[in-house]
């Protein structure tokens, strides 16, 4: 399938041979300075002659493998994770194909660098690390100009948009415009994890200010220096953005990312019925956690309806998990303790999970409930105590301390195992050696690929459930009790998730019918492999390829 990605930039494929090439009208320094097209020393001599690059590059033409070895050695030479993050960002800014080749080949090692936990540090240091613009920023002052700004974006076939307002970045809180690092990181995982072409993605930051006093006092902070805009002005900006995306790219899926609970739940419920949108913190976290629990049930022999689940944290992530664990009995706690029907301070989204029970702290609830599954999304280190974990029921209690980055984890895997005499099945949000990681990367890239492959008009709850069930079925639980497939298999996982999501979209009537064979062919065709392909000028005949 051909893709018109931008004026003068078209990805082509010969329908007979399957050979791919790029039609490109840029040349010379313009081509070398376009990260999505630049090959650096990887341009062949014929390409250098044809596109005016001879003399602008060192004379020797090298392979992508040789380039990859060099940049990987430079990456390994860095002495801190933040320096490794900066080195990868610099590579992406000059040669995106090589960046993604390196990321795909070393994803297990680099995932904690390009995303949690290191991306949290990068967002905190965003103004100091900034080198080159990437993505689009909107402020309340540009509400009336959203359409005009989106038309300035070079790429013409965007399919996945990740947007944040930076108010609840991981477990770090309000990082304002620094939250753009999260949008960029999630886009990297859509590309590396599912093969969405980078020119079909867009990271976005809604800069509505920040209530973080440190940032407001920081001379290097790059966002608008004011307290957060709320109310009608905020809603008007979001509404203009959502409508603007659909006007510019009608087939794009919007992923809401790292919004605070009130806005996250409210915006998802406002737009999900009419727009193709998805909240990874709510739905993605819910799906990947449900997948882990479903895989765990294969080890314990229990059924979902047998489970007592205690969730510490009643924000967007906690509510998303509770919604995803359909059939289980749920108890949920926030900073004020157990959600009960007698409490008057619950938000509407929490009320379905309020229990008719006496008030209790989290610790008291754990002893009273004796959960089979204990899940933490509090963002507060040390929330799970020995008393709480030791009180859990069942032969193989499941402990999911999911807060990230690592500094915010509710308890460590070693603590969970020690406090249960080695019986605990553990999954964490941040990476720990020898422990299953409950990472949303298993879910959202596949959802994006599935939506793209079937041109779904919406993301339904059933599509997200299909993603969770597919992931759970792929868990290699016989291999030491792993609740999730190895990260190195993420592209295979994403394809299977994409197929299940797209198949369900058709069943739900939000995508046109396709046969299973046609759908699998479409998914395979949508997957971009980060490799150099020949460049031709638009006037070159197909026979020349």
Specify the CATH number for the domain of residue 8.
Answer: 1.20.1370.30
Given a cut of 60, whether residue 544 has pLDDT beyond it is no
Helix (H, G, I), strand (E, B) or coil at 339: coil
Q: Active site includes 115?
A: yes
Element (DSSP H or E) covering residue 334: strand 329-334
- Shared-domain flag, residues 254 and 116: yes
What is the secondary structure of 89-147 as a DSSP string?
A: HHHHHH-HHHHHHHHHHTHHHHHHHHSTTHHHHHHHTHHHH--S--SEEE-GGGGGGHH
In eight-state DSSP terms, residue 535 is E
**pLDDT category of residue 545 using cuts at 50, 70 and 90:** very low
Contact by Cβ (8 Å): 15, 529:
no
Contact assessment for residue 51 and residue 26, using Cβ atoms and an 8 Å cutoff = yes
469 shares a domain with 322: yes
Instruction: Find the mean pLDDT for residues 125-136.
Output: 93
- pLDDT digits over 26-50, tens only? 999 999 999 999 999 999 999 999 9
For residue range 446-457, list pLDDT tens digits in order: 999 999 999 999
Is 85 inside any structural domain? no
For the stretch 303-328, pLDDT in tens is 999 999 999 999 999 999 999 998 99
Tokens standing for residue 194: 């599912």
Predicted local distance difference test score (pLDDT) of residue 479? 54
**Low-confidence winner among 164-173, 332-341, 386-395 (lowest mean pLDDT):** 164-173
Shared domain for 229 and 331, answered yes or no, is no
Confidence of residue 15 (pLDDT cuts 50, 70, 90): confident
**Does a structural domain hold residue 520?**
no
pLDDT confidence of residue 11: 86
pLDDT of residue 542: 42
Does 376 lie in the same domain as 237? no
Structural element, H or E, at residue 231:
helix 231-248
DSSP3 helix / strand / coil % (the chain, rounded to 5): 50, 10, 40
Give the C-alpha separation, 67 to 327, whole Å: 52
401 with 478, same domain? yes
Both structure tokens of 278: 């998805």
Q: In whole angstroms, give the CA distance from residue 512 to residue 421.
A: 52
In this structure, are 382 and 464 located in the same domain? yes
Q: How far is CA 54 from CA 8, 44, 47, 61, 64, in A?
A: 21, 10, 9, 11, 19
Token digits for 405?
A: 């980055």
Q: Establish if 507 belongs to a structural domain.
A: yes
CA-to-CA distance for 401 and 376, rounded, in angstroms?
A: 5
Is 34 in contact with 6 (CB distance < 8 Å)?
no
Q: What are phi and psi of 310, to 5 degrees?
A: -110, 120
Asked if residue 509 is part of any domain, the answer here is yes
Query: Same domain for 344 and 400?
Result: yes
Among 259, 289, 312, identify where a domain stops. Answer: 259
Domain of residue 66 covers: 3-79+536-544
> What contacts 269, CB < 8 A, 6 or more positions away?
none
Place of tokens 């997948």: 291
| H-assigned helices in 274-405 | 285-300, 316-324, 362-369, 386-390
Q: Once rounded to an integer, what is the mean pLDDT over residues 62-78?
A: 97
Contact 102, 72 (CB under 8 A): yes
User: For residue 100, which of 110, 3, 451 has the smallest C-alpha distance?
Assistant: 110
C-alpha dihedral sign at 122, 123, 125, 131: positive
User: How many domains are there within the chain?
Assistant: 3
Residue 138 and residue 204 in contact, taking contact as beta carbons nearer than 8 Å: yes
Q: What is the DSSP letter of 218?
A: -
Q: Per-residue confidence at 430, pLDDT binned at 50, 70, 90?
A: confident
Whether 266 maps to a domain, the answer reads no
Give the confidence band of 159 by pLDDT, cuts at 50, 70, 90.
very high
Question: Do 142 and 244 have their domain in common?
Answer: yes
Gap between the Cα atoms of 150 and 60, Å rounded: 40
Q: Are 26 and 81 in contact (CB under 8 A)?
A: no
> Binning pLDDT at 50, 70 and 90, where does residue 407 land?
confident
Cβ-based neighbour number of residue 272 at 10 Å:
18
Q: Which whole number is the average pLDDT over 425-436?
A: 92
State mean pLDDT over 495-514.
98
The percentage of residues in the chain with a pLDDT greater than 70, rounded to a whole number, is 97
What is the rounded distance in angstroms from the CA atom of residue 534 to the CA atom of residue 22? 6
* Secondary structure, 3-state, 7-60: CCEEEEECCCCCCEEEEECCCHHHHHCCCCCCCHHHCCHHHHHHCCCCCCCCCC
> In the predicted model, is pLDDT for residue 258 greater than 80?
yes
Residue 227 per-residue DSSP state: P
Q: Do 244 and 285 sit in the same domain of this protein?
A: no
Answer whether residue 231 is part of any domain. yes
Q: How far is CA 366 from the centre of its chain?
A: 31
Instruction: Flag whether pLDDT at 398 surpasses 70.
Output: yes
Q: How far apart are CA 1 and CA 165, in angstroms?
A: 35
What DSSP line would sit under 449-494, residue for residue?
HHHHHHT-S---HHHHHHHHHHHHHT--TTTTT-SS--GGGHHHHH
β-sheet bridge partners, residue 163: 204, 256
Does residue 327 belong to any structural domain of this protein?
Answer: yes
Which pair of structure tokens corresponds to residue 437? 């990681």
> Strand runs (DSSP E) across 188-301, as ranges?
201-206, 253-256, 277-279
CA 391 to chain centre: 34
| pLDDT given at position 10 | 85
Q: What is the mean pLDDT of residues 105-132?
A: 93
User: Do 372 and 469 belong together in one domain?
Assistant: yes
Same domain, 458 and 492: yes
Looking at residue 116, which CATH number applies to its domain? 3.40.50.10380
Report the CATH number at residue 499: 3.40.50.720
For residue 478, the model assigns a pLDDT of: 67
The pLDDT value given to residue 539: 63
- Which pLDDT score is estimated for 1? 55
Q: What is the pTM of this model?
A: 0.94
Query: What count of Cα atoms within 13 Å lies in the side-chain half-sphere of residue 343?
Result: 24
Q: Does 225 participate in catalysis according to the annotation?
A: no
Find the catalytic residue in 186, 221, 442, 484: 186
453 lies in a domain?
yes
pLDDT-based confidence at residue 171 (cuts at 50, 70, 90): confident
Q: Which of the following is catalytic: 75, 85, 99, 115? A: 115
Looking at the fold, whether 61 and 120 belong to one and the same domain comes out as no
Residue 308 or 405, more confident = 308
- Do 94 and 143 form a contact (C-beta atoms < 8 A)? no
Query: Average per-residue pLDDT in the chain?
Result: 94
């Amino acid at each position: 399938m051909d893709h018109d990605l931008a004026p003068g930039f078209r990805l082509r494929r010969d329908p007979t041979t399957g050979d791919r090439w790029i039609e490109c009208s840029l040349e010379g320094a313009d081509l070398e300075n376009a990260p999505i097209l630049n090959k650096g020393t990887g341009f062949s001599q014929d390409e250098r002659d044809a596109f005016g690059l001879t003399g602008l590059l060192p004379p020797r033409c090298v392979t992508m493998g040789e380039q990859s070895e060099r940049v990987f050695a430079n990456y390994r030479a860095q002495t801190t994770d933040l320096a490794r993050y900066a080195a990868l960002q610099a590579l992406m800014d000059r040669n995106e194909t090589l960046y993604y080749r390196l990321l795909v080949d070393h994803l297990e090692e680099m995932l904690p660098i390009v995303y949690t936990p290191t991306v949290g540090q990068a967002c905190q240091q965003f103004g100091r690390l900034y080198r080159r613009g990437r993505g689009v920023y909107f402020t309340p002052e540009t509400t009336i100009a959203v359409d005009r700004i989106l038309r300035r974006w070079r790429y013409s076939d965007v399919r996945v948009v990740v947007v944040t307002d930076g108010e609840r970045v991981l477990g770090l809180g309000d990082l304002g415009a620094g939250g753009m690092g999260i949008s960029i990181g999630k886009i990297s995982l859509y590309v590396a994890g599912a093969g969405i072409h980078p020119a079909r993605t867009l990271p976005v930051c809604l800069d509505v200010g920040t209530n973080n006093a440190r940032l407001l006092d920081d001379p290097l902070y790059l966002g608008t220096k004011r307290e957060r805009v709320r109310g009608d002005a905020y809603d008007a900006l979001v509404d203009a953005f959502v409508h603007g995306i659909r006007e510019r790219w009608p087939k794009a899926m919007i992923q809401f990312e790292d919004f605070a609970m009130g806005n996250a739940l409210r915006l998802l419920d406002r737009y999900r019925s009419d727009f193709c949108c998805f909240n990874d913190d709510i739905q993605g976290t819910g799906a990947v956690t449900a997948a882990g629990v479903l895989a765990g049930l294969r080890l314990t022999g229990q059924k979902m309806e047998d489970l007592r689940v205690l969730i510490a944290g009643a924000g967007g992530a906690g509510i998303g998990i509770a919604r995803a664990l359909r059939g289980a009995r749920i108890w949920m706690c926030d900073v004020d303790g157990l959600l009960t029907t007698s409490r008057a301070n619950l938000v509407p989204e929490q009320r379905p999970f309020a229990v008719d029970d006496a008030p209790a702290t989290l610790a008291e609830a754990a002893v009273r409930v004796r959960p089979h599954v204990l899940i933490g999304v509090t963002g507060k280190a040390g929330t799970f105590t020995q008393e709480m974990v030791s009180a859990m029921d069942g032969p193989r209690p499941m402990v999911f301390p999911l807060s990230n980055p690592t500094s915010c984890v509710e308890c460590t895997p070693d603590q969970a195992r020690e406090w249960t005499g080695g019986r605990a099945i553990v999954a964490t949000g941040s990476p720990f050696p020898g422990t299953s990681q409950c990472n949303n990367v298993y879910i959202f890239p596949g959802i994006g690929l599935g939506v793209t492959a079937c041109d779904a008009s919406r993301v339904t709850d059933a599509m997200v459930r299909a993603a969770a069930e597919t992931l759970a079925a792929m868990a290699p639980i016989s291999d030491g009790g792993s609740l999730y497939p190895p990260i190195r298999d993420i592209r295979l996982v994403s394809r299977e998730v994409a197929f299940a999501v797209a198949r369900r979209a058709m069943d739900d009537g939000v995508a046109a019918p396709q046969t299973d064979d046609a759908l699998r062919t479409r998914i395979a065709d949508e997957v971009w492999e980060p490799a150099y392909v020949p460049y031709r000028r638009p006037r070159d005949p197909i026979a020349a390829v």
